[in-house]
Structure 1
């Protein structure tokens, strides 16, 4: 009887260990899946930020280009009016401005796909669904 009880407890302990190991393996699989998805989302954020930056530089270049066009039209109007500002200085300013616009317009030198960096733990945190970004099994607090 005592031997049977010892054997039963040993079997229960072995089953418990197997069950705990399976649960640990399942948690690790879930954690890795969440981490992989978080990395993908963080990389998407990086690429979107690069795109927004390029679009902002493009908008600025378009706005400054429109200003240069308006300035050129105004200088043409003033060219026939005596005693206006120094037209040579105004033309130099316009020439410099057009050159500057060329340097900031991203469409003049289209870039390839940006190379994202490995997301930091802070970049991953919003997508980890409560998991800790340090790779541990514990859940991060709210």
Structure 2
């Protein structure tokens, strides 16, 4: 909020030769006061008029300055409170994102264990079938080498099978900002701000029936009339 004073005559140079006596001054020499900035409540400009001098309007100017200052302070306080509430919502979203990230990490851990168990189970059947074949082999160097392979394979499968150790919950690592993005919705992981949604990727090998046709593909061409045989 600023004040602009324009067209002030020099003191002692009024039309009557004394400062402040501007009632009969021409329009170009009358006092003019402009209050700019913020939303006006009553007025933004005051000037000398034939029936009322600018000095008589000083109380109105002071009141306008006060009203605008109070309104500006209310807006500032509202903005501070809005920012505080926004940060509270962001912190709550971050806490919920951490909970969802931990749950997602545990699910991925369980799925990896289940896949390792199925893999170890298939290898166990394979090693069992190989052991049956080796037991039927005659004694000799070949059987000795095959039995050594069976021992090595059995030990390997035992290490691969997650059920050979007591099950336990995984240790959740500290999530990075990118780890929390999938669980934050429109919130940014870096602070109480919003981020633009990421458009979904369209696979390059998407069938033509699923792709959005271009305007050229939608354009219909009138059929040419067939030439009449002469």
Q: Would you say same fold, with TM above 0.5?
A: yes
Match of 1:126 among 182, 200, 219: 182
- Size of the alignment, in residue pairs? 138
Considering Cα pairs closer than 8 Å and 6+ residues apart, tell me whether 1 or 2 has the greater RCO: 1
- Residue in 2 that maps onto 1:70: 129
User: In the TM superposition, what is the alpha-carbon distance from 1:111 to its structure 2 partner?
Assistant: 4.3
Whichever of the two has the greater Rg, that structure is 2
Pair 1:83–1:95, CA change in 2 (3 A)? closer
Match of 1:16 among 75, 81, 88: 75
Partner Cα separation in structure 2 for residue 134 and residue 5 of structure 1? 42
Which SS does the other structure have where 1:116 is aligned?
coil
What SS does structure 2 have at the residue aligned with 1:113? Answer: coil
1:60 offset after TM fit, Å?
1.4
Distance in 1 between the 2:81 and 2:185 partners?
22
| 1:19-38 aligned within 5 A | 19-38=78-97
Instruction: Tell me whether 38-47 or 96-105 shows the greater mean CA deviation.
Output: 38-47
TM-score norm. by structure 2 comes to 0.54
The two structures, once aligned, show a CA RMSD in angstroms of 2.2
After TM superposition, the score normalised by the length of structure 1 is: 0.84
**Unaligned ranges ≥5, structure 2:** 1-59, 198-230
Correspondent of 2:98 among 15, 29, 39? 39
Distance 1:92 1:45, change over 3 A: same
Distance in 2 (CA, whole Å) between partners of 1:44 and 1:8 is: 54
**More strand by percentage:** 2
* In 1: Cα distance, 2:109 partner to 2:139 partner: 48
Deviations 1:87-122 (A, max 9, x none): 222222112111111111111112422111111111
Give the CA deviation at 1:24: 0.6
Say which structure is richer in helix: 1
**Structure 1 equivalent of residue 215 of structure 2:** none
Distance 1:95 1:83 in 2: 17
The residue number in structure 1 matching 2:193 is 138
Shift of residue 16, structure 1, vs aligned partner: 0.9
1:50 pairs with 2:103:
no
Cα distance in structure 2, aligned partners of 1:29 and 1:47: 28
